[in-house]
């Protein structure tokens, strides 16, 4: 059996982390709370930008932690330590 494997250009490779239902529900609750504060537009926009940056950073760090844990567990399993 012959298999052809196409390799992605690493600069174009990406892993998409889907936004789950609990994430979307939490986002809606934050949005509703923020809108109820009636902040001036500039403060509102500044806060939203900071919150989005924080959210993306948190998601990226969680992903990296998951990959690290998976690699550590795979290494332990390969070494017969599990």
Give 4-24 pLDDT, tens digit per residue: 556 667 677 677 778 899 999
The pLDDT value given to residue 9? 72
Decide if 26 is inside a domain: no
CA atoms of 62 and 72, how far apart (whole Å)? 15
* Number of separate domains in the chain: 1
- 56 lies in which domain range? 42-76
How many residues comprise the chain?
82
Decide if 55 is inside a domain: yes
Residue 55 has pLDDT above 50, yes or no: yes
Report residue 1's pLDDT band, with 50, 70 and 90 as the boundaries. Answer: very low
Please compute the mean of the pLDDT values over residues 19-47 and round it to a whole number.
Answer: 94
Assign residue 5 a region (left: φ > 0; alpha: ψ between -120 and 50; beta: otherwise). beta
Cα angle vertex 35, ends 33, 37, to 5°? 75
The pLDDT value given to residue 75? 86
CA atoms of 57 and 14, how far apart (whole Å)? 16
CA atoms of 5 and 20, how far apart (whole Å)? 31
């Amino acid at each position: 059996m012959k298999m052809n494997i196409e390799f992605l250009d690493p600069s174009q490779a990406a892993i998409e982390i889907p936004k789950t239902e609990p994430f979307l529900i939490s986002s809606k609750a934050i949005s509703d709370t923020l809108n109820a504060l009636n902040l001036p537009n500039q403060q509102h926009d500044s806060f939203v930008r900071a919150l989005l940056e924080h959210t993306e950073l948190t998601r990226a760090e969680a992903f990296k932690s998951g990959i690290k844990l998976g690699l550590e567990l795979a290494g332990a399993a390969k070494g017969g330590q599990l």
